[in-house]
Amino acid sequence: MITKQLFIAIGFLAFTACQKPKTAENQNIPKTEVKTEVKTESTSQPKSEMPKPTKTGEPEMSAGLPPDKEALETAKKEQQNTSNVIYFKEGENKFLKEYETNITFKQITEDSRCPKDVNCIWAGVATAEIEVMGLHTRPVTLKLSTINDSNKNYRKSQNFNGFSISLVELSPETTSDKGFKALKGSYKIGLKFSKENSENQDGTTTK
């Protein structure tokens, strides 16, 4: 009888010991699931809340205004005016292979331009004397002025050997302290060459 009761007690203790690990395991399962859920939420939450980069907060690049037509035309004219311009110092001689012409800037024969520091009623005029000679022509003296006035025989351009030669620049300017006599020998001119135009009213043809 005692032996039977011992067997029953030992069996009960063994059953109780088996139930405790299962209970612990069952209790740990929710903890693991909760931890997993928390980690997942903490990891995914910043991704869902992180604002997407947008361009609304940045200044948009403007397409810009179209270029000013007047400015473009002015720049084009200035570029055209400076092309094919050759400069000479007073007394300088150059042979221009492109135009097959030898040119000598002889002198400035007159300079009545208004001094740059004086207000004048008339702008005045200056005239450059140049000597031109082609490969198959004799030397010819041309006078080019800063204005066109056929009544006073002032011409800004003249034709020679198939080209039109124009006086486009003359420096330095006169001042109240330095006039024509003071500047003699230090003048510089810019001559522009272009195809001869038979309809050019400003120039005369010379061969």
Residue with the two structure tokens 């869902």: 48
pLDDT tens string 103-117: 999 999 999 999 999
- Confidence at residue 131, expressed as pLDDT on a 0 to 100 scale: 98
Average pLDDT of the residues in 174-188: 94
Element (H, E) at 108: strand 101-111
Nearest to 189 by CA among 139, 149, 145, 152: 145
pLDDT tens string 15-43: 665 555 554 455 554 454 445 444 444 44
Residue 6 pLDDT > 70, yes or no? no
DSSP 152: G
Distance (Å, whole) CA 78 – CA 204: 25
Distance (Å, whole) CA 149 – CA 142: 16
Nearest to 125 by CA among 95, 160, 151: 151
Torsion of CA 53, 57, 58, 62, to 10 degrees: 120
Reported pTM: 0.58
